[in-house]
A = this chain, B = another copy of it.
Amino acid sequence: MRAPYGLNILDNCLTCPVREEHLFCNLSPHAGQRLNEIKSTAVYPKGAMLFIEGQQPRGVFVLCAGKAKLSTSSREGKTIITKLSDAGDVLGLNAVISNRPYEVTAEMMEPGQANFIPRESLLQFLKDHGEVALRVAEQLSRNYYTAYEEIRTLGLATSPSEKFAKLLLSWSTKITQNDGMTQVKLTLTHEEIAEIIGTTRETVSRLFSDFKKRQLLQLKGSTLVIRNRPALEKIVQS
């Protein structure tokens, strides 16, 4: 079975083998059944907007395949990326729970697939299944921690190099290599990195040059090799 955008449709992406902490995994059979009834699956091309900052919350999206970036921007056009999401993440939960407008824009960075659960159905579902409500609370709590980390980064780290080092480390912890080094596939443009750490494209460019010169990292094509983690950690130190 072949979907648009060269993507294989996943049969039921609510059952996620990977993420233990996933909101809708390991539900009771009854709850799982009910969830399947109220969800609907759709496929999105690169650049698709799942929802846009300021819109009334229609519902949540459970990302099954593909990556999405969450961002917010000021009137003057300055944009910051607050989170990169991938399969398993639940998007729009805060807005739905608190019935406020989506606080961020969710844009697909590559073709992907997501389950949509309308707001009213979800709220009813949570009322009927109290045990899931507590898991929602836990998920919201995780969201909060992520946001909180962001505050620390933006508020406490003064220099762009500090934030850059922090970002690199956050990438390298995900995929650890057998030897001391770590390599990550670099899918972001300098512009996007700048929007994550709150600086300009040019500064990111200069940071890359600088860090290469200082033997902290290395670029093989689009693969980023972290060569000296301790030194990066020393730059961060917060």
Contact = CB atoms under 8 A, between A and B. Distances in A.
Nearest to A197: B155
A12 interface: no
B97 A141 contact: yes
Given A133-B133, A147-B144, A97 B156 contact: no
Copies of this chain in the oligomer: 2
Contact of A147 (B74, B98, B100, B147): B147
A174 interface: no
Contact of A142 (B98, B127, B150): B98
Nearest to A141: B98
A65 B148 CA distance: 26
A134 B127 contact: yes
| Highest count of chain B CB atoms <10 Å: which of A126, A147, A237 | A147
Contact of A150 (B94, B133, B134, B151): B151
A111 interface: no
Interface string A137-158: 1101111110110111011111
Interface stretch (A31-39, A75-83, A178-186, A213-221): A75-83
Contacts of A75: 237-238
Contacts of A147: 144, 147-148, 151
Lowest 10 A-B CB distances belong to which pairs? A130-B130, A74-B238, A98-B141, A154-B154, A147-B147, A140-B140, A80-B155, A74-B156, A137-B137, A133-B133
16 contacts: A72-B151, A72-B152, A74-B152, A74-B156, A74-B157, A74-B237, A74-B238, A80-B155, A82-B151, A126-B134, A137-B140, A140-B140, A143-B144, A144-B144, A147-B151, A150-B151
